[in-house]
Amino acid sequence: MTRKNILKAQRIVVKIGTSSLILPNGKINLSNIDELAFVLSDLNNKGYEVILVTSGAIGVGLNVLGMDKRPKGIADQQALASIGQVELMSLYTQMFRRYSQKVSQLLLTRDVTDFPTSRENAENALNALLALDIIPIINENDAIAVDEMDHQTKFGDNDKLGAIVSKLVHADLLIMLSDIDGLFDKNPTIYDDAKIFNEIHEITDELRQMAGGAGSRFGTGGMTSKLAAAQILFENDQEMVLTNGERIREIQQIIEGREIGTYFHQKF
């Protein structure tokens, strides 16, 4: 069956997780970044408005400094994010340039999207960039984002950031690229009989309990955060597809309505 509502999508946010950008050995997944640049540039050429929400600053920073695990200190993590963000954007710029596609960078913190004036400014900037045929690349400003007392600047994870950006720009669809094919009824890495959910229409307590916990050693988001992102979208009458970041070319098929990954949408 075709997911007919997706066929109407024109403004698309793609969120890619750290596990899709960093190889298990800690090196940068250059082929995935190149493929992502190709697919998103191709979509832009076809008239879609595309925004990329990326993780990976700390993971890339680890690679730059030759470190094999994330330091515990907040300041050390912030330094890594600052180092890694420069390298990450350099890689994106190089890869997108191969396909004659211009990109821009926006680093957001939670207080920017929570405060009405700065939220409006961010929305206006993104709309202006899309009008110029530029693909904005958005990440959390991890070098300065901390939560202290009542001053909250962190989104918590980039799954939530992807949902908030989708809400901010009134996106038709969020495509979330993860290290798993979709949402399963049990952990597919442990149980051979795990079944994928083709569609989800409501985020229930049962689903949350099923979702489990942590992601990879390089990332912070697990399935729980993806359900939280879906809930944000549901509250704004928006849609999401969760799929595997190892098969980036399937983004085109997803937009064509093919049944790939788990499709989160409400029934009215």
For the chain, domain boundaries: 2-262
Rounded to an integer, the average pLDDT of 194-210 is 87
**CATH level 2 (architecture), domain 2-262:** 3-Layer(aba) Sandwich (3.40)
Helices assigned H by DSSP within 67-115:
74-97, 110-114
Per-residue pLDDT band for 224 (boundaries 50, 70, 90) equals confident
Per-residue pLDDT band for 142 (boundaries 50, 70, 90) equals confident
Closest CA to 139 of 59, 81, 55, 82: 55
Q: Please tell me the predicted confidence (pLDDT) of residue 147.
A: 54
Q: Please tell me the predicted confidence (pLDDT) of residue 220.
A: 39
Higher per-residue confidence, 92 vs 205: 92
pTM surpassing 0.95? no
Binding-site residue numbers for substrate are: 55, 142, 158
Binding-site residue numbers for ATP are: 15, 178-179, 220-226
Rounded to an integer, the average pLDDT of 225-234 is 92
Report d(CA 92, CA 1) in Å as an integer.
Answer: 35
Rounded to an integer, the average pLDDT of 53-61 is 93
Q: What's 217's DSSP letter? A: S
Residue 29 above 60 pLDDT?
yes
Q: Please tell me the predicted confidence (pLDDT) of residue 155.
A: 47
Residue 150 above 80 pLDDT?
no
Rounded to an integer, the average pLDDT of 31-52 is 98
Residue 268 above 70 pLDDT?
no
Per-residue pLDDT band for 15 (boundaries 50, 70, 90) equals very high
Report whether 40 contacts 133 (CB < 8 A). Answer: no
Report d(CA 104, CA 106) in Å as an integer.
Answer: 7
Binding-site residue numbers are: 15, 55, 142, 158, 178-179, 220-226
